[in-house]
Chains A and B, each alone.
Chain A
Amino acid sequence: EADIYQTPRYLVIGTGKKITLECSQTMGHDKMYWYQQDPGMELHLIHYSYGVNSTEKGDLSSESTVSRIRTEHFPLTLESARPSHTSQYLCASSEIGGVRGKLFFGSGTQLSVL
């Protein structure tokens, strides 16, 4: 079934650890995005990609990095997690030439850094 998957759903980790948040989609979409959301706040775009080997930083500065080696996979990495990274991270995808503004979201990863 075509879908967008995020793992893990919840992650509690200590300061200084390296973490990778996984995002995969089987929808055949070229565009993928990472949004960060603190409780009660707006979603902030932190990274996006329009295809393989294409990655761009979003509007909110983030210490995380992303890669797009395969169309379906768009992982986000934090080399050294800090409490300020505690947030919800949402992955999304959309189709080039599809309905403009229609993003398909994953279930999100709630990250807590102690």
Chain B
Amino acid sequence: AQRVTQPEKLLSVFKGAPVELKCNYSYSGSPELFWYVQYSRQRLQLLLRHISRESIKGFTADLNKGETSFHLKKPFAQEEDSAMYYCAFSGNTGKLIFGQGTTLQVKP
């Protein structure tokens, strides 16, 4: 079955510390992976896509097909990064499948 797993419900770090939000997927084909973010009192929005290989707000994510992972990383966390992060995956159906989400809390 196609599935996305985010093992951490909550990740708490201090400002300036590195951040890694984990995401694993199960799919035998070539997936498309995405990270969505929801800031407090805002809507869910796309943060970045693996296919564009871009850095958004200092965040990057690399697709590792061998480990079936797409972890989201940032070298130095900022307080404004505090939000809910969802990993999402699109397989052969074209529909987006979301993980359970990880709350990132960046403490001052």
Contacts and interface: CB of A to CB of B under 8 A. Distances in A.
Given A105-B45, A107-B43, A42 B90 contact: no
Contacts of A102: 46, 49
B44 A101 contact: no
Interface string B66-108: 0000000000000000000010101000011111110000000
Interface residues of A, number: 21
Contact of A45 (B32, B44, B95): B95
* A interface: dominant SS: loop
Interface residues of B, number: 20
* B interface: dominant SS: strand
B95 A41 contact: no
Nearest to A35: B98
B96 A40 contact: no
Interface of A: 35, 40-45, 48, 58-59, 90, 99-108
Given A40-B9, A43-B86, A58-B95, A101 B46 contact: yes
Contacts of B99: 42
Given A42-B4, A45-B95, A59-B95, A103 B100 contact: no
Name, among A45, A58, A106, the residue most crowded by chain B CB atoms within 10 Å (CB to CB): A45
Given A100-B32, A101-B32, A43 B95 contact: no
